[in-house]
Amino acid sequence: MRLRLASVGLLSLLLVSGCGYHTVNSAVHLPGNVRTLAIPAFKNNTQSYHTQAVFTEAVIREFTSRSSYRIVSGEDADADATLRERLRVS
């Protein structure tokens, strides 16, 4: 009986905690007034050639396919927000 209660409790906790999966636009982490997002080329502090271009293109592709933001590549003074990133070896 005790094992059965423990199993049900554990299963309930697993179901409630989830795995972090979410649908498109359900996990919004940007302020509500952001409509346009500029994504300039990432900086590359690694020894890998052309890595920054691959990562930048992948991030732009993900934002374009999974969000309703208007994405502009490069610096744009008219953008509501800018995403800057630096690739580095840890």
Whether the pLDDT of residue 53 is over 80: the answer is yes
Q: Does 17 or 76 have the greater pLDDT score?
A: 76
Confidence class of residue 19 from pLDDT cuts 50, 70 and 90?
A: low
- Give the per-residue pLDDT at 13: 57
- Cα separation, 29 vs 61, in Å, equals 18
5: DSSP letter: H
Confidence class of residue 6 from pLDDT cuts 50, 70 and 90?
A: low
Q: Rounded to whole angstroms, what are the CA distances from 38 to 4, 34, 51, 82?
A: 53, 11, 19, 5
- Give the per-residue pLDDT at 49: 87
Arithmetic mean of pLDDT, 25-31: 66
Type of residue found at 76: D
- Give the per-residue pLDDT at 5: 66
